[in-house]
């Protein structure tokens, strides 16, 4: 996906060929996501990952140049999934506050879902993987633009209408949500409940 296999596309005499149907790249991504999420990036070894995917270690390097780029691919897919879930949730609402609330619920539900892709986005710290750190941060920043838009649409009281206040609000909200997986327990409050409680605590008085 994000790997360096573009190569030159010559049409003269050497058909580009299509990827095959038995391509096991999806299994690799799934296995990597599961193990990165469960044990952390460094502790998940290539051998563990390919074993789950049913391959041999060397085969992975046909798809990815190295372990870092495998992480980048999983991370990108994670961001894409969260982003899709949030967009879908927001699309159903028209009121600005309801939209933000729906986005927060979808965001947190993605983070604590059984699917490990989103968990990788939260638990892997870009700074711990210098070669791709910038790429990972860019992916995350891109996603957070959704929240920039949502918050800029809020009808806030006059003294909080400036850009700085809205940034503070975004950091407060996203930080609290991103941290929630560290104390979340399936037996406790649901993601929906948690996200709504956060929003209501803030909204109750900020709404006009």
Instruction: Quote the CA–CA distance of 153 and 99 in Å, as a whole number.
Output: 10
Which spans in the chain are helix H? Answer: 25-39, 46-53, 60-63, 67-91, 96-112, 117-123, 130-152, 163-179, 191-206
Closest of 189, 141, 149 to residue 166, by C-alpha: 149
Helix (H, G, I), strand (E, B) or coil at 130: helix
Which partner from the list a copy of itself, DNA, none does 8 bind, CB cut-off 5 to 8 Å by kind? none
Kindly tell me which residue out of 55, 113, 148, 176 binds a copy of itself, with binding defined by CB under 8 A: 176
Between residues 5 and 197, which has the closer beta carbon with respect to a copy of itself? 197
Q: Is 42 in the site for a copy of itself (CB under 8 A)?
A: yes
* Long-range residue pairs from 39-48, CB within 8 A, at least 24 positions apart, any chain: 40/123, 40/124, 41/71, 41/124, 41/128, 41/129, 42/128
Q: Is 103 in the site for a copy of itself (CB under 8 A)?
A: no
Q: Nearest distance from residue 66's CB to DNA, in Å? A: 3
Q: Nearest distance from residue 78's CB to a copy of itself, in Å? A: 16
The residues in 48-107 that bind DNA, with binding defined as CB under 7 A, are 48, 54-63, 65-68
Interacting residues with a copy of itself (CB under 8 A): 39-40, 42-43, 123, 125, 128, 160, 165, 168-169, 171-180, 182-183, 194, 197-198, 201-202, 204-206
Residues making contact with DNA (CB under 7 A) = 14-25, 44-48, 54-63, 65-68
């Amino acid at each position: 996906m994000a790997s360096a296999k573009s190569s030159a596309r010559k049409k003269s005499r050497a058909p580009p060929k299509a990827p095959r149907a038995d391509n096991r790249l999806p299994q690799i991504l799934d296995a990597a996501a599961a193990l990165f999420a469960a044990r952390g990036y460094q502790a998940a070894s290539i051998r563990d990952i390919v074993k789950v995917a049913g391959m041999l270690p060397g085969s992975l390097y046909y798809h990815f140049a190295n372990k870092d780029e495998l992480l980048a691919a999983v991370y990108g897919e994670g961001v894409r999934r969260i982003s899709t879930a949030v967009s879908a949730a927001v699309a159903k609402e028209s009121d600005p506050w309801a939209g933000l609330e729906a986005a927060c619920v979808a965001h947190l539900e993605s983070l604590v879902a059984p699917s490990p892709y989103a968990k990788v986005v939260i638990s892997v710290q870009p700074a711990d993987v210098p070669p791709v750190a910038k790429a990972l941060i860019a992916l995350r920043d891109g996603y957070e633009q959704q929240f920039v838009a949502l918050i800029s649409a809020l009808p806030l009281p006059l003294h909080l209408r400036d850009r700085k206040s809205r940034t503070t609000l975004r950091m407060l909200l996203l930080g609290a949500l991103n941290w929630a997986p560290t104390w979340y327990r399936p037996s406790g409050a649901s993601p929906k409940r948690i996200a709504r409680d956060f929003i209501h605590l803030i909204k109750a008085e900020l709404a006009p």
